[in-house]
Chain A
Amino acid sequence: MTVPISYYLVLAAVLFSIGVASFLIKRNIITIFMSIELMLNAVNLTFVAFAHMWHQITGQIFVFFVMVVAAAEAAVGLAIIIAIFRTRRTLNVDQVNLLKN
Chain B
Amino acid sequence: MTLVIGAFTIGFILSLLALGMLISFRIQRYCDITVDGSITLGASTAAVLLVHGWSPWAATLVACLAGSAAGAVTGLLHTKFRIQELLSGILTMTALYSINLRVMGRSNVPLLDVPTLADGPEKLLRKLAGGAEALNVAGWAVPTRDLAMLLTVFVAVAAVAIALRFFLLTHLGTIIRAAGENAQMARAQGADDKRMLVFGLAVSNALVALAGAMLAQYQGFADVQMGIGMMVWGLASIIIGEALTGKCSPGMAIVGAIMGTILFRLLIAIALRWGLDPNDLKLVTAAFVFAALVLPSWFGRLGRRIFGGRHA
- A and B: bona fide binding partners: no
Binding site for A on B (CB under 8 A): none
Binding site for B on A (CB under 8 A): none
